[in-house]
Amino acid sequence: MNALRKTLIVIVLVGSALLLAHSAFAKSIYHVDKSIYRVEKSIYAAAHKSIYAPVVEQETTPEPPASEPAPLATEAPAVVTEVPVGVEPAPVATEAPVVVEPAPVVVVPTTLDVSGVRVYFVPSTVNPTVGAPFTLSLTVNNPALVGLNSLSLQCTLDRVLFMIDTPLPPPVQPVEGQIPVTPPPGAFGVYPVVSPFALDSTYGTVTMTVASNWGYAATNSGIIHDVLLLATAEGTFTLNCTATVIDANGQSQVVAFFPLSMSVLPQPVVTEATPVVTEATLVVTEAAPVVTEAAPVVTEAAPVVEAPQVGTITGVVLLPAGRHNETTITLSSEAGIVATVNANADGSFTLANIAAGIYTITADARGHLPAQATIGLMPDQTLVMNTVTLAAGDLNNDNIAVDMNDAALLDSTYDMNAASLPPELDLNHDGSINLGDLRMLAANIGQYGPTLWQ
């Protein structure tokens, strides 16, 4: 009996020990699960915070009692929304994209340099007379070969003194079978498009427009068009115009125009000599009365020779660095050079006993661009030219422009003694080629000759 009791006590003690051991093991497993649960919860909260900001703090689930196991986390059931058949879902409104169009690029054409272009009229006769038609040849000088599309003139013209006649007709077309004769092209082509002189009685001006018919810009120099005029009264006539060109890039620019002064002479008076009749005396003799009648003697008066109609031209031409007497003044007509004179030490000059007419007067000095004008001289007139200063820097004396060729010539002789060099290189006359000469040349770089002597 006691042995049985001892056995039962041993069994109870062993079972109790087993129960205690099992309880401690279960408790350890519970704490491990609880730690894993907390780590997973922290990882989940950090991931949720990084993806969905801001993080809304959720209420902390109270820890279950130590005696109860923690509830297992389960996924929330998915909510399925059924869409009725045949009903389209409402469109989601989205903002329209903003299209920003780039601003249009405006390309401004380049303005060509037309400073060297000269426009002037050349008369067909030196001294037109009243009632005799004559022509004015519109001429352009374009040394830099700048492209020109058209030329427009606005001129002051005395309608009492001059009557504008019909423009010259175009050349007659040849008969079939004959070789056509094409005239040489002018500055604006063979047959330019011409709008002849049109009178504006309100402002007392006339306009003329000439355009190239080649389909491209003209770059030539020469006669553009001839205008036929008729003088209706004697006197002095001055034609001054404002010349405007449209260059090859379509830009409108004003160019230099040489004024034209000319003298209109009266109609020549034809004087016929009165015949002088001398009657012979009748002589009667006794032998035979014979009456002899002498033939009438007609004596013609000698033609009256008028004194030549002459005038005088004076003026002053200056050089920037002095030595004005190195300037030469040349007067020329259609026939050639009429007179030449050197300026005095103060730059003054006089051309005396010059026949009345239309002339081109030019002032030139080595190392300088020439100045030029077209003038008209009346009988017994003293024409005083405006004072002009020549532009320094034309070291190669081509009379065309002050350009890089002249600068290169100065550079090749820079800092040298002027005594062994052409005198025109020493523009300021200080005895050497230096910065002073360079400054004088640079001041006129890009100028074309001849310059306008106004």
Listed by start position, the domains of the chain span: 112-167+186-267, 307-454
For 8-38, the pLDDT digits (tens) are 666 766 666 666 555 665 566 566 566 666 7
Strand 310-318 relative to strand 348-355, pairing? antiparallel
Fold of 307-454: Immunoglobulin-like (2.60.40)
Q: Is the peptide bond before 54 cis (omega within 30 degrees of 0)?
A: yes
Whether the per-residue pLDDT at 428 is higher than 70: the answer is yes
Q: pLDDT tens for residues 90-115? A: 666 566 667 777 777 666 667 788 88
> For the segment 197-215, what is each residue's pLDDT rounded down to a tens digit?
555 545 556 777 777 665 5
Has domain 112-167+186-267 been given CATH number 2.60.40.680? yes
> CA-to-CA distance for 236 and 238, rounded, in angstroms?
7
pLDDT tens, residue by residue, 335-382? 888 899 999 999 999 999 888 888 889 999 988 999 988 887 878 888
Domains 112-167+186-267 and 307-454 share a fold: yes
* pLDDT over 90, % of the chain: 6
Of 194, 187, 183, the closest CA to residue 145 belongs to: 187
Q: How confident is the model at residue 260 (pLDDT cuts 50, 70, 90)?
A: confident
Tens of pLDDT, residues 291-337: 566 566 656 655 555 556 788 999 999 998 888 888 999 998 888 88
Listed residue (257, 259, 261) closest to 151, CA to CA: 257
What is the Cα–Cα distance from 215 to 147, expressed in whole angstroms?
12
Is residue 275 over pLDDT 60? yes
Q: What is the pTM assigned to this prediction?
A: 0.44
Query: What whole-number distance in Å separates Cα of residue 88 and Cα of residue 300?
Result: 128
Cα–Cα distance for residue pair 236/204, rounded to 1 Å:
18
User: Of 133, 128, 305, 113, whose CA–CA distance to 226 is shortest?
Assistant: 133
Structure confidence at residue 270 (pLDDT): 66
For residue 242, list its beta bridge partners. 154
